[in-house]
Amino acid sequence: MTVTEQTRVASWRLLLSNPVTAVSAAVLVVVAVVALTAQWIAPFGVNDIDVPSALQGPGGTHWFGTDELGRDVFSRILVAIQASLRVAVVSVALAAVVGVTIGVVAGYRGGWLDTIVMRVVDVMFAFPVLLLALAIVAILGPGVTTTMLAIGIVYIPIFARVARASTLGVRVEPYVAVSRTMGTPSGFILRRHILPNIAGPLIVQLSLSLAFAILAEASLSFLGLGIQPPQPSLGRMIFDAQGFVTLAWWMAVFPGAAIFVTVLAFNLFGDGLRDVLDPKQRTLMEAKRTRQ
């Protein structure tokens, strides 16, 4: 086993040695499996209407009960989790690619380019995330693609700032300075020296941004600007349950619980990643593990 492989294995062992992180990782694995197989494991069709079975409580046939049209809430939640995760992954991937590219180039080049880029980023930061997403969706129209684009755009400044701050610290390292004096192309330096050494903070931000992207998608869908019916969405399911809270609590509780558990798992896993990837926190964790 190479040194790199040994380091990677040690990092995973240290990460999973924290029970909270291990549980959150297990939850995320379940969420990923649901996202990949929701169409096949859902016991009922998400739009199968059965009015005589409307507003039935949780039971053996319908684990999470039925809604006002007799549709199975459990099946709809499974497919809604799939939709939410797809929106979150695509939007965060868009934000990461664009934001990291902007942040790395600005931080490495510096000068007027860095000043202009960061002023634009500051202007975008002046607007609340959800408000900016609402404005984008209102202009482009509701829908899945628009939701992905809106969430991706509002998270670009976050990745740009993280990438720029990390690049400013790495670009002054001796090995980068030596490469520049030897006339090494900037593109090679960015790929070989900068990006690998700023991957830690970006991975942590990726995990945290996925959690906030799920919340943003649920918020937009709740307001009727995200995923459109008849495709189920967790936010839309909570909106539809408003008129039945006293009659059918399960219509709102179970979709809300799905959002809560998924977002919490991403946040806790991101905290665990930060502890492992941050040298200071990692040293403290290794020392604590050694004492135990």
Mean pLDDT of 129-156: 87
- What confidence category does residue 3 fall into, taking pLDDT thresholds of 50, 70 and 90? very low
Question: pLDDT higher for 129 or 84?
Answer: 84
Q: Are 98 and 156 in contact (CB under 8 A)?
A: yes
Question: pLDDT higher for 136 or 254?
Answer: 254
Nearest to 56, CA basis, from 43, 46, 69: 69
pLDDT attached to residue 97: 93
Tens-digit pLDDT profile for residues 241-268: 988 888 889 999 999 999 999 999 999 8
pLDDT attached to residue 45: 86
pLDDT attached to residue 288: 52
Tell whether the model's pLDDT for residue 188 goes beyond 80: no
- Of 7-21, 35-49, 127-141, 252-266, the poorest mean pLDDT is in 7-21
Question: pLDDT higher for 114 or 292?
Answer: 114
User: Is residue 142 reached through a cis peptide bond, with omega within 30 degrees of 0 on the bond before it?
Assistant: no
d(CA 96, CA 155) in angstroms, rounded, equals: 8
Q: What percent of the chain has pLDDT over 70?
A: 89
What's the whole-model pTM score? 0.85
Question: pLDDT higher for 260 or 172?
Answer: 260
Angle of helix 111-125 versus helix 73-109 axis, rounded to 10: 150
d(CA 132, CA 144) in angstroms, rounded, equals: 17
Kindly list the structural domains of the chain, giving each domain's residue range(s) and its CATH number in brackets, ordered by start. 26-287 (1.10.3720.10)
Mean pLDDT of 128-154: 86
Q: Give residue 53's region: left, alpha or beta (phi > 0; psi -120 to 50).
A: alpha
Tens-digit pLDDT profile for residues 62-97: 889 998 888 999 999 999 999 999 999 999 999 999
pLDDT attached to residue 12: 60
- What confidence category does residue 192 fall into, taking pLDDT thresholds of 50, 70 and 90? confident
> What's the mean pLDDT when you consider all of the chain?
83
- What confidence category does residue 15 fall into, taking pLDDT thresholds of 50, 70 and 90? low
- What confidence category does residue 284 fall into, taking pLDDT thresholds of 50, 70 and 90? very low
